[in-house]
Amino acid sequence: LDCSKQIHSVPYTSCSLQNKIHKQLKQTNEHTQQTLTVVTHDGSQYVNVDTTTQNGIKHAKELHLASSGLADVAMTSYLYDAATLFTNNDNTVHGKCFTLLRHPIKRAVSLFYYLKVSTWEMDYNSIFKDMSLEEYARSKWCEENWMVRFLTNEMK
């Protein structure tokens, strides 16, 4: 392998395979090992690090994931943290970042319908239960260009 790649994963998008794999790794404590190893799941191979968390990215950096040649892709929502994977002194690998984005209106509508039913979430607000999509779009709760703030690392 001559390069590592990174997928920037946006919260509230479908990452069921990624979640399934990380759940399996966590059940076996594979993601906390002190050496990089390849784990096989359903005929596909994965490296035993969890790049979906900031601590996991730190651990992956400590194990020199980028220069190991074991990974083609790292999926994460932490773009700036993951960039540090490529700043090891001995790292000669240059990462390439690519992002898959949903249409912003479809994503906002999906988030609205999620908010209506996500009673299991700690920050669930019952105000969404009977709210119409139009009411949501005109309300103070409608998101305000979250993606731009996230990509520029200016969340406030």
Instruction: Compute the distance between CA of residue 146 and CA of residue 97 in angstroms, rounded to an integer.
Output: 19
Find the helix or strand (DSSP H, E) in which 82 lies: helix 79-83
Instruction: Compute the distance between CA of residue 93 and CA of residue 91 in angstroms, rounded to an integer.
Output: 6
The per-residue pLDDT for 14 is: 40
Mark the ranges of the chain whose per-residue pLDDT is less than 50: 1-16
Phi first, then psi, for residue 41 (nearest 5°) are -140, 120
The per-residue pLDDT for 9 is: 44
Report yes or no on whether pTM surpasses 0.75.
no
Instruction: Compute the distance between CA of residue 15 and CA of residue 99 in angstroms, rounded to an integer.
Output: 14
Question: Which spans in 118-153 are helix H?
Answer: 133-138, 146-151
